[in-house]
């Protein structure tokens, strides 16, 4: 079953941990927010599996490599995502090569390389680069919102294009012999939560993990998942709500969305769920 992480406001971080398989940290918040930093340092000490992200989705460009390396070596996460460049395959590959040439990263952590590109051909080239043993990448990540999805699966609702576009992309990469089924893969974010039921049905054992704040953000906005999921998406980014006051949080609604999300992804409710 695919491992699930949900970013959440600090006040409910430990409660949300009961519904997740690992934790997902944003490096810029480690630097900006002492409470956030302390929370993840405690998670590491507890033995939680943590992915440290380079914050490109939040900042629109990856965190500066030298500083990111310092945070990796301070936090010592299980995984970290090497700085990439949104939809720019050439720059992403160049940055991975530069990262390796400079010897960045904590040797006890595992390295994630993100696939980027604007066309199928660019995505394939970037994937093959990340899969090259010389890059020493332990897991390959695929994003939820490539503009390519709007071309490969055009739909008036862009979130449907994103959902079905990633489903189609993974199927095409597998069909064309590009996917290394012996390597772990990570799904970055989501547009619509029901996307993940497609992978459950396909039995993609090489999909190791996913991260998304989708069920949390929608609950904070008062939106409950239906049995079908969602057909629209709140544009709010969770990192902007990281200090959301616990008194304003409907924890029951959050738990409802978390349980439904896990049903879409794995067909089960989380161990220890009180619902």
List, as one string, the DSSP characters of 177-231. T-S-TTSEEEEE--SSGGGHHHHHHHT-TTEEEEE--HHHHHHHTTPPPBTTB-S
Residues 6+ apart with CB under 8 A from 153: 160, 161, 164, 165, 168
pLDDT the model gives residue 51: 98
Whole-prediction pTM value?
A: 0.94
H-only helix segments in the chain = 13-17, 27-32, 34-45, 56-59, 65-75, 89-101, 120-131, 148-152, 158-175, 196-202, 214-220, 251-266
pLDDT the model gives residue 38: 97
pLDDT the model gives residue 273: 43
Residues 6+ apart with CB under 8 A from 156: none
pLDDT the model gives residue 8: 94
What is the C-alpha radius of gyration for the chain, rounded to an integer number of angstroms? 18
- Extract the tokens encoding 34: 């002492």
Please, what is the end-to-end C-alpha distance for the chain in angstroms? 21
Alpha-carbon gap, residue 186 to 162, rounded angstroms: 16
What is the maximum alpha-carbon separation in the chain? 51
pLDDT the model gives residue 235: 79
Q: What is the pLDDT along the chain (275 residues), one digit of tens a residue?
A: 899 999 999 999 999 999 999 999 999 999 999 999 999 999 999 999 999 999 887 777 777 999 999 999 999 999 999 999 999 999 999 999 999 999 999 999 999 999 999 999 999 999 999 999 999 999 999 999 999 999 999 999 999 999 999 999 999 999 999 999 999 999 999 999 999 999 988 989 999 999 999 999 999 999 999 999 999 998 777 777 787 777 778 999 999 999 999 999 988 654 444 33
User: Any idea what the Cα angle at residue 126 is, between residues 163 and 195, rounded to 5°?
Assistant: 15
Evaluate whether 238 touches 8 at the Cβ level (below 8 Å).
yes
Alpha-carbon gap, residue 217 to 234, rounded angstroms: 7
pLDDT the model gives residue 230: 96
Other beta carbons within 10 angstroms of residue 29's beta carbon come to 20
Other beta carbons within 10 angstroms of residue 255's beta carbon come to 21
pLDDT the model gives residue 105: 96
């Amino acid at each position: 079953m695919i491992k699930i992480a949900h970013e959440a406001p600090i006040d409910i971080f430990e409660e949300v941990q009961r519904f997740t398989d690992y934790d997902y940290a944003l490096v810029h918040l480690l630097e900006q927010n002492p409470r956030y930093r302390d929370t993840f340092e405690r998670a590491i000490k507890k033995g939680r599996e943590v992915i440290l992200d380079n914050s490109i989705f939040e900042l629109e460009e990856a965190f500066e490599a030298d500083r990111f390396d310092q945070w990796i070596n301070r936090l010592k996460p299980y995984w970290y995502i090497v700085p990439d460049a949104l939809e720019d395959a050439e720059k992403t590959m160049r940055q991975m090569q530069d990262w390796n040439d400079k010897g960045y990263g904590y040797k006890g952590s595992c390295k994630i390389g993100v696939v980027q590109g604007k066309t199928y051909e660019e995505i394939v080239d970037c994937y093959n680069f990340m899969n090259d043993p010389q890059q020493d990448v332990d897991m390959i990540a695929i994003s939820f919102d490539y503009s390519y999805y709007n071309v490969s699966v055009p739909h008036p609702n862009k979130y449907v294009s994103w959902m079905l576009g990633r489903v189609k992309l993974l199927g095409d990469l597998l069909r064309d012999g590009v996917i290394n089924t012996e390597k772990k893969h990570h799904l970055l974010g989501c547009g619509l939560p029901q996307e993940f039921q497609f992978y459950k049905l396909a039995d993609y054992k090489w999909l190791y993990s996913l991260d998304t704040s989708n069920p949390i953000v929608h609950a904070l906005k008062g939106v409950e998942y239906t049995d079908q999921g969602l057909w629209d998406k709140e544009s709010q980014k969770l990192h902007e709500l990281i200090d959301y006051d616990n008194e304003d949080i409907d924890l029951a609604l959050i738990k409802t969305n978390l349980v439904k999300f896990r049903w879409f992804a794995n067909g089960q409710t989380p161990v220890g769920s009180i619902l």
